[in-house]
Amino acid sequence: MNQTLSVIPNEPAITPELIAQHGLTPEEYERIVKLLDRTPSFTELGIFSAMWNEHCSYKSSKVHLRTLPTEAPWVIQGPGENAGVIDIGDGLAVVFKMESHNHPSYIEPYQGAATGVGGILRDVFTMGARPIACLNALSFGDPKHPKTRALVAGVVAGIGGYGNSFGVPTVGGEVRFDRRYDGNCLVNAMAVGLAETDKIFYAKATGIGMPIVYLGSKTGRDGIHGATMASAEFGADAEEKRPTVQVGDPFSEKLLLEACLEIMAKGCVIAIQDMGAAGLTCSAVEMGAKGDLGVTLDLDKVPCRETGMSAYEMMLSESQERMLMVLKPDKEKEAEAIFRKWGLDFAVVGETTPSKRFVVRHGGAVVADLPIKELGDEAPVYRRPFTERGKQAEIDPASVKAPVGIAEVLEALIGSPNLCSKRWVWEQYDHVILGNTVQRPGGDAAVIRINDGPKALALTADVTPRYCEADPFEGGKQAVAEAYRNLSAVGAKPLALTDNLNFGNPERPDIMGQFVGCVRGIGAAARALDFPVVSGNVSLYNETNGRAILPTPTIGGVGLIDEFTRSMTMAFKSEGEAILVIGGTRGWLGQSLYLRELCGREDGAPPPVDLAVERRHGDFVRSLIRDGLITAAHDVSDGGLLVALVEMAIASGIGAVLEAPSEVPAHAFWFGEDQARYLVTARNVEPIMERAKAAGVPVTPLGATGGALVSISGERPLRVADLKQRFEAWLPAYMVGSH
């Protein structure tokens, strides 16, 4: 195939600088030349750079991701499609995925976060699912860093701005602050949709000579690879051609959703793929490669927003709210009418071919002619060297006692940036639209009724990055275990998870070691808990000036509740009920918030996660909920027992009288972060104790609910109302600049 393509005037010559600007190494470029048996054209170089970059090719992470467990009898589609799909019975499937939009959100917080939400929603409805909920996991820098406040304001407004307008409830997530995110905030968005099991749509094209249709909004110069475009090669009109920030248009996306679902219902669609990162390139190549078919695109047919766009620009544009679809030829007119009704662009831009080549024409010339399978399959795969961090020393609780009493510690923690209420955030999200929100944000997991019931989904997003850094393997396990626990605490059977792996530069062995360790931990936990990974996303190179973010493998968990009216909440229900802690307490202070916020130390081994125990305790709590033996449940995580207990008190306005522990030092007992624990309340303790004994689950009475105070014998009692005030105050006060 030693042909040359027509020479396009004014295209830059392929120089080593240009190759480097495309993020390709000299070796990778050699590989391209060998594959083609000639020099690539400028457009082809752009296509390769898009297909072979970390984001599309997963070249640093692939070998490790393959180790994750992805199967279970209820998994319909694991990783590899736009989103994962699981069967929830009654002919229904849940489609979900989480994805990051970190860098764009740091550059332009509102639009970056908004388009992140838009992208993940598209992944879900591309598969034929109507989105029913969103979650978001956000990591920001030190509250005192001058950029943090504006990032929080912009990101939260952007997530709300998109989801609210699109019409999906945003029901859960997390918000953390840590100076390690100073130069790199993380915005991880998750979307969950509902489809019929026999009407799931995939990216794989079938049939030769089938029309490939472009749908949605027009193409502009949005988000084209910055480094490339900044090159001087473009000459005098560089200013005009500057790549631009992607702007979200939730209105168009809502129309796109309705139009797509309508033509899917009418049986017009053979294959469908949304245009996400590297837009037209990735979507067209994937459709063809998955179906062992070639694809020919005619760029003169692509609806453009701007004049004079080059083939290179069109192939790499990341304009939002666009789709590519292979249509049944006899349904073309019908499909077009539907799209016109919704006021969207519709254009046949190509067709499938038997050649297995990816051919792109523009202005009468062939600007790219590439082997379609190799574009994806031959992408480099790296086994990057990694070094694993040694185990940290365990911390003796007696050696790290803060100079203040239990009451003061509690007051400090409950009003601290990481433990305080995130109401200021989630009140900007419409969390009640669609009328199915059984449990709103603020609990352990959100609960969303499915259609008119009786089933419901429980949804959560979790990770504890400081554990992941101290011990990647334990941290990876803990993230999965915490998601499992949050789902169990509302009475849901955990079914499957999506992961969003945010790390620094994988070319650094220590960072790669974090990645490898976390993935191993996630895999181990997912396997032990029967909680497979069905979709995910990797975001690497999150670092500034050589300083990486904390390793942050966010876990999005989905669980199923058979009868939504019986989902469990964490608020105390009435006075005089027994409070029990399920799970053992050694008083583990390594990497705890107590250590960090009160002692100014960030060291020690994080709490180990015993997966067999996690599973046993989860099963136990779910059985108590199912059999109506408990009145409230809450998992114990960051901040430990007393923080969890106070959250239950605040949620209800009811206080508690607690007994001081005898075996473990008080500060370690109340604030240690031992895993696999839940707090529950019950009117009748006997049957629970009996079951616990039989199941081998440690259950310890802690006290009773009642009154307006949280009091521990020997400590200063605290008013629930005052604790609530502290809990609620920090974030709103921070956002108006008062601290």
Partner 1 sequence: MKSAVVVFPGINRERDMARALRLASGREPAMVWHADTALPAGTDLVVIPGGFSYGDYLRCGAIAARAPIMDAVRGFAAKGGLVLAICNGFQIACEAGLLPGVLMRNAQLRFICRDVYLRVERSDTPFTRGYNAGQVIRVPVAHGEGNYIADGETIARLESEGRVLFRYSSPDGMIDPNWNHNGAMNGIAGIINERGNVLGMMPHPENHVEASMGRTDGRGLFAGLLDHFKVAA
Partner 2 sequence: MKARVTVTLKPGILDPQGKAIEGALRSLGVGGVTSVRQGKVFEIEIEGADRAGAEAALKSAAEKLLANTVIENYRIELGGQ
Ligand X SMILES: Nc1ncnc2c1ncn2[C@@H]1O[C@H](COP(=O)(O)OP(=O)(O)O)[C@@H](O)[C@H]1O
Positions in 88-127 near partner 2 (CB under 8 A): 107-108, 110-111
Q: Which helix (H) or strand (E) holds 493?
A: strand 493-502
Please give the C-alpha separations between residue 282 and each of 232, 367, 383, in angstroms, as whole numbers: 26, 16, 24
Positions in 338-397 near partner 2 (CB under 8 A): 343
Pick 251 or 333: Cβ nearer partner 1: 251
Q: Judged by CB under 6 A, does residue 442 bind ligand X?
A: yes
CB of 639 to ligand X, least distance (A): 8
Per-residue mark of binding to partner 1, 332-351 (x: CB under 8 A) = ----------xx--------
Q: Judged by CB under 8 A, does residue 261 bind partner 1?
A: no
CB of 438 to partner 1, least distance (A): 7
In 3-state terms, what secondary structure has residue 558? Answer: strand
In 3-state terms, what secondary structure has residue 73? Answer: coil
How far apart, in whole angstroms, are the C-alpha atoms of residue 275 and residue 253? 12
Q: State which of residues 102, 188, 252, 502 lies at the interface with partner 2 (CB under 8 A).
A: 252
CB of 306 to partner 2, least distance (A): 6
Q: Which helix (H) or strand (E) holds 265?
A: helix 250-265
Q: Judged by CB under 5 A, does residue 444 bind Mg ion?
A: yes
Residue 483 sits at the vertex; the CA angle it makes with 448 and 406, to the nearest 5 degrees, is 110
From the list Mg ion, partner 2, ligand X, none, which binds 391 (C-beta under 5 to 8 Å, kind-based)?
A: none
CB of 111 to partner 2, least distance (A): 7
Q: For the chain, what's the residue count?
A: 739
Count of residues binding partner 1 (CB under 8 A)?
Answer: 31
Pick 102 or 111: Cβ nearer partner 2: 111
Q: Judged by CB under 6 A, does residue 462 bind ligand X?
A: yes
Per-residue mark of binding to partner 2, 179-218 (x: CB under 8 A) = --------------------------------------x-
How far apart, in whole angstroms, are the C-alpha atoms of residue 573 and residue 679? 13
Q: Judged by CB under 5 A, does residue 99 bind Mg ion?
A: no
From the list Mg ion, partner 2, partner 1, none, which binds 444 (C-beta under 5 to 8 Å, kind-based)?
A: Mg ion
Backbone angles phi, psi at 55, to 5 degrees: -60, -45
716 is written with which tokens?
């200063």
Which listed range, 150-158, 182-190, 482-490, 693-701, lies at the site for Mg ion (CB under 5 A)? 482-490
Per-residue mark of binding to partner 1, 568-607 (x: CB under 8 A) = ----------------------------------------
How far apart, in whole angstroms, are the C-alpha atoms of residue 584 and residue 456? 31
Pick 156 or 309: Cβ nearer ligand X: 156
Pick 245 or 265: Cβ nearer partner 2: 245
**DSSP conformation class of 333:** H
Residue 67 burial (CB count, 10 A): 14
Q: Judged by CB under 5 A, does residue 486 bind Mg ion?
A: yes
How far apart, in whole angstroms, are the C-alpha atoms of residue 61 and residue 507? 11
Q: State which of residues 52, 429, 531, 594 lies at the interface with partner 1 (CB under 8 A).
A: 429
Q: Judged by CB under 8 A, does residue 70 bind partner 2?
A: no
549 is written with which tokens?
């973010």
Count of residues binding ligand X (CB under 6 A)?
Answer: 17
Please give the C-alpha separations between residue 110 and each of 86, 115, 247, in angstroms, as whole numbers: 32, 9, 9
Q: Which has the closest alpha carbon to 309: 243, 370, 227, 215? A: 243
Which listed range, 42-50, 195-203, 252-260, 635-643, lies at the site for partner 1 (CB under 8 A)? 252-260
Q: Judged by CB under 8 A, does residue 221 bind partner 2?
A: yes
H helices, E strands: number in the chain: 27, 28
How far apart, in whole angstroms, are the C-alpha atoms of residue 717 and residue 564? 37
Burial 409-444 (b: 16+ CB within 10 A, else e): bbbbbbbbbbbbbbebbbebbbbeebebbbbebbbb
Q: State which of residues 564, 588, 620, 734 lies at the interface with partner 1 (CB under 8 A).
A: 564
Pick 313 or 577: Cβ nearer partner 2: 313
Per-residue mark of binding to ligand X, 170-209 (x: CB under 6 A) = --xxxx----------------------------------
Active-site hit among 22, 55, 64, 431:
55
CB of 470 to ligand X, least distance (A): 18
Q: Judged by CB under 8 A, does residue 227 bind partner 2?
A: no
Pick 178 or 635: Cβ nearer Mg ion: 635
Crossing angle of the two packed helices 611-626 and 509-528, in degrees rounded to 10: 40
Which listed range, 355-363, 397-405, 421-429, 723-731, lies at the site for ligand X (CB under 6 A)? 421-429
Active-site hit among 22, 64, 101, 667:
101
CB of 379 to partner 2, least distance (A): 30
Q: Judged by CB under 8 A, does residue 247 bind partner 2?
A: yes
The question of whether 55 is a catalytic residue gets the answer yes
Q: Helix-strand-coil percent breakdown of the chain, rounded to 5? A: 40, 25, 40
Q: Judged by CB under 5 A, does residue 638 bind Mg ion?
A: no
Burial 219-235 (b: 16+ CB within 10 A, else e): bbbbbbbeebbeeebbe
List of residues 6+ apart from 178 with CB closer than 8 A: 139, 140, 141, 142, 418, 465, 466, 550
The question of whether 739 is a catalytic residue gets the answer no
How far apart, in whole angstroms, are the C-alpha atoms of residue 683 and residue 600? 40
Identify the burial level of 347 via C-beta atoms within 10 angstroms of its C-beta, where 0-12 means exposed, 13-18 middle and 19 or more buried.
middle
Backbone angles phi, psi at 176, to 5 degrees: -130, 160
List contacts with Mg ion (CB under 5 A): 444, 486, 635
Q: Binding residues for partner 1, per CB under 8 A? A: 157, 160-161, 164-167, 249-252, 254-255, 342-343, 426-436, 438, 449, 453, 564-565
In the complex, which residues of this chain contact partner 2 (CB under 8 A)?
Answer: 107-108, 110-111, 217, 220-222, 240, 242, 244-249, 251-252, 305-306, 319-320, 343, 737
Which residues carry out catalysis? 55, 101
The residues binding ligand X (CB under 6 A) are 136, 138, 172-175, 422, 425-426, 441-444, 462, 486, 637-638
